[in-house]
Amino acid sequence: MAGQAAKRDGSDPGGGGGKGATPGRRRLAIGMALFLLATGGILLALLGPRARPNVLLVTIDTLRADRLGCYGYGGAATPVLDGLAARGVRFATAVAHAPLTAPSHASILTGLLPLAHGVRDNGAFVLPPSPTTLAEVLQRAGYRTAAFVSGFPLDHRYGFARGFSTYDDHLSRGRDPQRAPYVERTADEASRRAGEWIRAAPSPWFAWVHFFDPHAPYAPPPDLAARFASSPYDGEIAFVDREMGRLLAAVEAGPGGTLVLVTSDHGESLGEHGEATHGVFVYDSTLLVPWIMAGPGIPRGRVARVVARGIDVAPTLLDYAGLDAPRAIEGRSLRPAADGMEMEDAPAYAESLFCRLNLGWTELHAWRTAGWKLVDAPRPELYDLGADPGETRDVSAARGEEGRALRSELQRALEARPPDASTVPSSESRERLRALGYVSATAPARPTGRDPKDGIALVERLERGLAEARARPALAVDELSAFLAEEPDAPLARRYRAIAYQFAGRYGESVADIQALEARGPLSLEDLTVLAESLRLARRPDEALAALDRAATLDPRAPEPLLLRGRSLRALGRSEEAKAALRQALDLAPESAEARRGLGELALERGAIDEAASFLEPIVAADATDVPALVKLGVVRMRQGHAREALPLFERAVALDPRNPEALVDLAGALGKSGRSPEAVPFFEKAIEVGGPTTAALNGLGVARLESGDAKGAARAFRESLTLDPRQARIADLLRQVSGGQR
Ligand SMILES: [Zn+2]
């Protein structure tokens, strides 16, 4: 069992990587690992729960191992993670089981392969109640448990919260109006919230912190964006590394030893194999992740060569905590390898069902030993990882024997049937997943069975179309039309072209695309919400409301149709019905900022100021970057006569979104009312510049200029306001006074 580690180095590239995985030898290795696990457990159990280490599990989404300094990357700025590796153990090869966030995290947290835990894609599956999770084992052993996740695919609705007393999945609204809100939070916010919890938690505690930043789109904070202008992905990694430093400082400030394990759910293709991001293929570009751990009992500066796998995370952590792993677990503790003992490499299964579930193509399965990888596809591929780590030369024709051996192992693994874990997520969930570049479970009725490698260029066009449907709708229409020319039955592409048409103002074509979908099969809830929005914008409100009624009957638990109904009814001036719809939405989704904001705005409109405050205050308390809520709460404070409290709200809104005309006008108005008219003038001017002239902005500007001693400027503003609306008697009066009775 000694030779396998060396073979990974490529010293024996043609060697028996497949042979090392024969069942007999594997059982022997597992037996050895179980023995070590049991003895370690007994020793620590004798010490009692007080001696148990705290456990910090950090998963950095979308992090390729080979982009960290400690894994040999020259362009890295990752001193914190490199330092952690220097005072702990780093596994040179660690493999994820799926290139997708939810399935891979489910494997990390349960020690089970996707085939066993049943989470096969983002957004379309919920972790079933049967597998015992790492958090549950630790919680039962007396650990305080908390999770801080930063991406929507790990929202509590997908079942990952089990075993955590605190599950913080609060995502910020985000600042880019062209992206869907509430899809991710940045590393500074995640490390701050996790750090606060860690500082206050009594030992032993278990915290899982998930950073999302290296996931596309790559947008590091300004200083790192400048430094990594040509490689913003590395800038995101540097940002997470910096925040890791803060997190570790919080850990070190507390009592008790802490075991830290840092890994990732998958890598990023960065153009390799024609794939820009991740999710389609099962090559090492998106499967190799870092595995770094340090803490009590872990030697310093060791690099372990045995192949580590996602399913090994939970049993390894439980081993160090002195706890038994659940019996069903498929991974093994790698503690012996960390201690410098030889361990035989275990094979890794990997899969992506993305193309089948979303496009009606085929799914991919892979069987990976230390030296070889088989990718099972309509045209299977075999790679000699020792000689060809980039997986660029398919040797299946020349190396039939290796291929057959791997295939029979893969076949055995696939015979285990997964539990039924699927549920129907709401259209709102899908929208937020898609904003991250994910799509979910909308395969065409007539699947084409295309091999993903024959369609990767099409996938790239589809993804560009999905990503740009709102921001650059004309480009998105082109990309999606190109996709539809090849795959006319793909509902996803047609639905997204309908959205792109909507954002391009081509409402008729948007409605026509949804009608074309209906001709091919029943419309989904999401189709109906797109249809309703395009009908509303095309000023066909009754048809829009009828579409929303149909959507609500499809899934009475979905808040999205009710939110849109509230918006449509408000626009029609039917406030009472709008309020009822938003109330229902809030019942279904008690955290919904949209429902609260809508109700707050309706209360404000009818002068129920305190009620408006009761809806708006919790939004701002939960997310200090929610610009629309900041503005409306500022208006509430003004109406309550608290200009001094309103000002900082408006100031924050303008700082977050400097081109928001409503925030600019309100800030200017509050400055004027606080006797600071000269300061108000430029904000009124800016509001008019970015939002166009309105009577409110022009009148405010006129008054502010007047109070600043600029009578001529005031007259200009009043005059322009009167051309917009000549019926303003008071403004006409003011203009007469300012211009000394002459017009
Ligand atoms: Zn991920």
Question: How far, in Å, from the CA of 63 to the mean position of ligand 1?
Answer: 8
Question: How far, in Å, from the CA of 267 to the mean position of ligand 1?
Answer: 8
Question: How far, in Å, from the CA of 265 to the mean position of ligand 1?
Answer: 5
Question: How far, in Å, from the CA of 120 to the mean position of ligand 1?
Answer: 13
- Asked whether 566 and 585 are in contact (CB, 8 A), the reply is yes
- What is residue 178's predicted lDDT score, i.e. its pLDDT? 54
Question: How far, in Å, from the CA of 440 to the mean position of ligand 1?
Answer: 14
- Asked whether 352 and 437 are in contact (CB, 8 A), the reply is no
- What is residue 51's predicted lDDT score, i.e. its pLDDT? 78
Of 12-21, 286-295, 352-361, the poorest mean pLDDT is in 12-21
Question: How far, in Å, from the CA of 350 to the mean position of ligand 1?
Answer: 15
Question: How far, in Å, from the CA of 537 to the mean position of ligand 1?
Answer: 35
- Asked whether 375 and 464 are in contact (CB, 8 A), the reply is no
Q: How would DSSP label each residue in 471-530? A: TSHHHHHHHHHHHHHH-TT-HHHHHHHHHHHHHTT-HHHHHHHHHHHHHHSPPPHHHHHH
CA dihedral 583, 586, 587, 590 (to 10 degrees): -150
Question: How far, in Å, from the CA of 312 to the mean position of ligand 1?
Answer: 18
pLDDT(48) > 80: no
Question: How far, in Å, from the CA of 207 to the mean position of ligand 1?
Answer: 19
Question: How far, in Å, from the CA of 491 to the mean position of ligand 1?
Answer: 25
Q: How far is CA 9 from CA 94, 304, 356, 370, in A?
A: 14, 12, 35, 9
Residue type, position 516, single letter:
A
Partners of residue 292 on adjacent β-strands: 90, 262
Question: How far, in Å, from the CA of 348 to the mean position of ligand 1?
Answer: 18
Question: How far, in Å, from the CA of 737 to the mean position of ligand 1?
Answer: 65
- What is residue 6's predicted lDDT score, i.e. its pLDDT? 32
Question: How far, in Å, from the CA of 81 to the mean position of ligand 1?
Answer: 19
- Asked whether 487 and 387 are in contact (CB, 8 A), the reply is no
Question: How far, in Å, from the CA of 729 to the mean position of ligand 1?
Answer: 60
- What is residue 360's predicted lDDT score, i.e. its pLDDT? 86
**What does the pLDDT average to over 242-246?**
98
- What is residue 8's predicted lDDT score, i.e. its pLDDT? 32
- What is residue 488's predicted lDDT score, i.e. its pLDDT? 87
Q: pLDDT higher for 445 or 674?
A: 674
Question: How far, in Å, from the CA of 279 to the mean position of ligand 1?
Answer: 9
Question: How far, in Å, from the CA of 509 to the mean position of ligand 1?
Answer: 35
Question: How far, in Å, from the CA of 679 to the mean position of ligand 1?
Answer: 46
Question: How far, in Å, from the CA of 100 to the mean position of ligand 1?
Answer: 5
- Asked whether 531 and 563 are in contact (CB, 8 A), the reply is no
Q: Dmax over Cα atoms in the chain, in whole Å?
A: 103
**What does the pLDDT average to over 670-676?**
93
Q: Residues 293-316: pLDDT tens digits? A: 999 999 999 999 999 999 999 999
Q: How confident is residue 740, by pLDDT bands cut at 50, 70 and 90?
A: confident
For 628, the token pair is: 């629309």
Question: How far, in Å, from the CA of 214 to the mean position of ligand 1?
Answer: 9
Q: How far apart are the C-alpha atoms of 258 and 262, rounded to whole Å?
A: 13
Residue type, position 468, single letter:
E
Question: How far, in Å, from the CA of 698 to the mean position of ligand 1?
Answer: 48
Question: How far, in Å, from the CA of 437 to the mean position of ligand 1?
Answer: 11
- What is residue 434's predicted lDDT score, i.e. its pLDDT? 52
Q: Residues 465-483: pLDDT tens digits? A: 988 898 899 999 999 999 9
Q: From the CB of residue 641, how many other CB atoms can be counted at a distance below 10 Å?
A: 11
pLDDT(556) > 50: yes
Question: How far, in Å, from the CA of 525 to the mean position of ligand 1?
Answer: 26
Question: How far, in Å, from the CA of 106 to the mean position of ligand 1?
Answer: 11
Question: How far, in Å, from the CA of 212 to the mean position of ligand 1?
Answer: 7
Question: How far, in Å, from the CA of 215 to the mean position of ligand 1?
Answer: 7
Q: How far apart are the C-alpha atoms of 322 and 439, rounded to whole Å?
A: 40
Question: How far, in Å, from the CA of 152 to the mean position of ligand 1?
Answer: 10
Q: How many residues does the chain have?
A: 743
Q: In degrees, to the nearest 5, what angle opens at C-alpha 700 toward C-alphas 696 and 701?
A: 115
Q: From the CB of residue 242, how many other CB atoms can be counted at a distance below 10 Å?
A: 20
- What is residue 11's predicted lDDT score, i.e. its pLDDT? 32
Question: How far, in Å, from the CA of 262 to the mean position of ligand 1?
Answer: 14
Q: pLDDT higher for 594 or 29?
A: 594
pLDDT(24) > 90: no
pLDDT(13) > 60: no
Nearest C-alpha neighbor of 487 from the set 434, 438, 440, 449:
449
Question: How far, in Å, from the CA of 9 to the mean position of ligand 1?
Answer: 28
Question: How far, in Å, from the CA of 123 to the mean position of ligand 1?
Answer: 12
Q: How confident is residue 560, by pLDDT bands cut at 50, 70 and 90?
A: confident
Question: How far, in Å, from the CA of 153 to the mean position of ligand 1?
Answer: 8
Question: How far, in Å, from the CA of 717 to the mean position of ligand 1?
Answer: 53
Question: How far, in Å, from the CA of 101 to the mean position of ligand 1?
Answer: 3
Question: How far, in Å, from the CA of 96 to the mean position of ligand 1?
Answer: 11
Question: How far, in Å, from the CA of 512 to the mean position of ligand 1?
Answer: 35
pLDDT averaged over every residue in the chain: 88
Question: How far, in Å, from the CA of 61 to the mean position of ligand 1?
Answer: 5
Question: How far, in Å, from the CA of 62 to the mean position of ligand 1?
Answer: 5
Question: How far, in Å, from the CA of 266 to the mean position of ligand 1?
Answer: 6
Percent of the chain residues topping a pLDDT of 70: 87
Question: How far, in Å, from the CA of 406 to the mean position of ligand 1?
Answer: 27
Q: pLDDT higher for 666 or 358?
A: 666
**What does the pLDDT average to over 194-220?**
95
Q: How confident is residue 553, by pLDDT bands cut at 50, 70 and 90?
A: confident
Q: Residues 105-146: pLDDT tens digits? A: 999 999 999 999 999 988 878 898 889 999 999 999 999 999
**What are the helix (H) ranges across 254-398?**
284-287, 313-321, 335-338, 354-359
**What are the helix (H) ranges across 521-622?**
525-537, 541-554, 560-571, 575-588, 593-605, 609-622
- What is residue 432's predicted lDDT score, i.e. its pLDDT? 60
**What does the pLDDT average to over 655-680?**
94
Q: pLDDT higher for 155 or 232?
A: 232
**What does the pLDDT average to over 449-457?**
94
For 230, the token pair is: 């040509």
Q: Residues 604-622: pLDDT tens digits? A: 999 999 999 999 999 999 8
Question: How far, in Å, from the CA of 699 to the mean position of ligand 1?
Answer: 51
pLDDT(435) > 60: no
Q: Residues 505-548: pLDDT tens digits? A: 999 999 999 999 898 888 888 899 999 999 999 999 999 999 99
- Asked whether 317 and 259 are in contact (CB, 8 A), the reply is yes
pLDDT(175) > 70: no
- What is residue 428's predicted lDDT score, i.e. its pLDDT? 56
**What does the pLDDT average to over 44-48?**
47
CA dihedral 597, 598, 602, 603 (to 10 degrees): -30
Check whether the bond before 79 is cis (ω within 30° of 0): no
Q: How confident is residue 78, by pLDDT bands cut at 50, 70 and 90?
A: very high
- What is residue 253's predicted lDDT score, i.e. its pLDDT? 86
- What is residue 10's predicted lDDT score, i.e. its pLDDT? 31
Q: Which residues contact 506 (CB under 8 A, 6 or more apart)?
A: none
Q: pLDDT higher for 1 or 201?
A: 201
φ and ψ of 571, to 5 deg: -65, -30
Question: How far, in Å, from the CA of 103 to the mean position of ligand 1?
Answer: 9
Element (H, E) at 689: helix 677-691
- What is residue 69's predicted lDDT score, i.e. its pLDDT? 98
Q: How confident is residue 436, by pLDDT bands cut at 50, 70 and 90?
A: low
Question: How far, in Å, from the CA of 435 to the mean position of ligand 1?
Answer: 14
Q: Residues 200-210: pLDDT tens digits? A: 999 999 999 99
For 189, the token pair is: 């916010």
- What is residue 364's predicted lDDT score, i.e. its pLDDT? 97
- Asked whether 54 and 256 are in contact (CB, 8 A), the reply is yes
Q: From the CB of residue 271, how many other CB atoms can be counted at a distance below 10 Å?
A: 11
**What does the pLDDT average to over 240-259?**
93
Question: How far, in Å, from the CA of 351 to the mean position of ligand 1?
Answer: 14
- Asked whether 396 and 389 are in contact (CB, 8 A), the reply is no
Question: How far, in Å, from the CA of 118 to the mean position of ligand 1?
Answer: 17
- What is residue 418's predicted lDDT score, i.e. its pLDDT? 53
Percent of the chain residues topping a pLDDT of 90: 73
